[in-house]
Amino acid sequence: MSDQFLQNAFLFRQPILNRRQELAGYQLSFHGGEGIDDDDAVSASRGAGAPLCAAYSELGMHGALGNTCAYIGVDADFLQQEAIELLPPPGVVLELLVDGVPEKATLTRCHGLLQRGYSLALTNYQGIDDRSRPLLPLVSVVKIDLRRAGQARLEELAGSLRQLPLKLLAQGVDNHAQMEACRNLGFALFQGRYFAHAEIVSGRRLSAAHATLIRLCNLVGRDVDTAVIEDAFKHEPALTLNLLRIVNSVGRLGNRSTQPVTSLRHAITLLGRRQLQRWLSLLLLAPGNQANGSLDPARSPLLQVAALRGRMMELLVAVGKPGDHKQADLAFITGILSMMPAALGLPIEEILEQIAVEREVGDALRQHEGLLGTLLALLECFDNDDAACCDSLLSRLPGNYDRQTLNTGLSAALSWLNSSPD
């Protein structure tokens, strides 16, 4: 069954953020579809069994996730299997999918896993009862699903655990108001994509930092002399210093034997306009540090989603058009810009009025037209765990696009993100 899942099921992920709104991990789950029978689909939706562990191993997810954890659901049956010990203890949190009162064998196994360094989480907490009472001393995380609890019930559930040495995780957080309410109740972790659902207001006034970055993006994206770009950077000393730092860092990584780059013009030439535009576009998504040029995906889940989407767009284009570097560049920028409305709180139409982009990129962002538009729509469905939508869009793409293409693309993009110096 593992091979069938690896080839035919979607490996979905949901971000888990901490109280500082930094990425703390991903909930990983499989979702089948056509070609997966009902029993397998049920197992996949619960996140249980060897297929998910096989995917974690074979797709290199441990290295790909960097310093974040993978939350993986395991039911009582799979909990007893030795294969579970192939998962690296520092890289996973095992979610106990236990129905009813846990058996003695389950509790014994949990104790053994704790001794091996694994972290355990209790899902679907409904209060202190015969199911949760023996498990609470063993777990470090308790998940409470907001979709199953109103405000009063949520306060009651959180209150019953507040004095215990564990973290509360709010599942199904759809907006910032829910996140803040849970934070006030003592929740430490929040699962969902609420951070990517900012309020969009037409005509919103941009900050000075955003306006500066958009102006620089425009200059880099147009056919202007390097001296014009150089002069614009000279008015932004923090960005200039970080540009020089990045160019010299890349040089060291490439074992370049030349002297450190101290000239702004030299830095622009070495980095190249393509990479410079990527960097500036990503800075538009960075929280609070746009003016100094700092990029740390761990500090911004929105930045991480944008970078992942850009890289996956680039990898997916290469499947259909191998060797087409220009198309790959356009794909990356399309992915990055697709997250701009959430970052800036502006409609994409108003953003595109201020940033120079290729017509193909604009069509993809506005109407999901062309190959780039279809790939963008596919990744939006993939981010939203919509298997049916993914299948429909995959069938419209020319070439060898399938579910495994998305899974391997996700792993490769995560590896790239976590290995990138900036």
CA-nearest of 187, 160, 190, 188 to 173 is 190
Tokens of 142: 């308790």
C-alpha dist (Å) from residue 341 to 218, 306, 351, 372: 17, 11, 8, 18
C-alpha dist (Å) from residue 218 to 232, 241, 281, 397: 11, 20, 10, 31
Backbone angles phi, psi at 14, to 5 degrees: -125, 130
For residue 31, what are the β-bridge partners?
10
Measured at the CA of 419, the angle between CA 414 and CA 422, to 5 degrees, comes to 105
Tokens of 23: 């990425």
DSSP 198: P
DSSP 91: G
User: Residue 295 has what pLDDT?
Assistant: 57
pTM of the model: 0.83
Q: Which helix (H) or strand (E) holds 179?
A: helix 176-184
C-alpha dist (Å) from residue 42 to 9, 29, 75: 12, 11, 12
User: Residue 371 has what pLDDT?
Assistant: 95
Per DSSP, the three-state class of 361 is helix
- 143-195 pLDDT tens trace: 999 988 888 899 999 998 988 999 999 999 999 999 999 999 999 999 988 88
Integer Rg of the chain from CA: 23
DSSP-H helix ranges across 150-300: 151-159, 176-184, 208-221, 226-234, 237-253, 264-271, 273-283
Task: State CA 155 to chain mean position distance.
Answer: 29
User: Residue 241 has what pLDDT?
Assistant: 86
| Helix axes of 301-320 and 370-383: crossing angle, nearest 10 degrees | 130
Tokens of 364: 């993809």
Distance between CA 17 and CA 298 in Å, rounded? 10
Which residue matches tokens 């939350």? 71
Backbone angles phi, psi at 104, to 5 degrees: -60, -40
Task: State CA 126 to chain mean position distance.
Answer: 29
User: Residue 420 has what pLDDT?
Assistant: 54
How many angstroms separate the most distant Cα atoms in the chain? 73
In a 10 Å sphere around its CB, with 0-12 CB exposed, 13-18 middle and 19+ buried, how is residue 153 labelled? middle
Distance between CA 120 and CA 118 in Å, rounded? 7
Are 96 and 139 in contact, with CB atoms under 8 Å apart?
Answer: yes
Which residue type, as a one-letter code, is found at position 105? A
User: Residue 56 has what pLDDT?
Assistant: 73
Distance between CA 309 and CA 376 in Å, rounded? 8
CA-nearest of 283, 279, 258, 282 to 268 is 279
What residues in the chain have per-residue pLDDT under 70? Answer: 1-7, 32-51, 54-55, 58-59, 62-64, 66, 250-259, 287-299, 420-422
User: Residue 46 has what pLDDT?
Assistant: 46
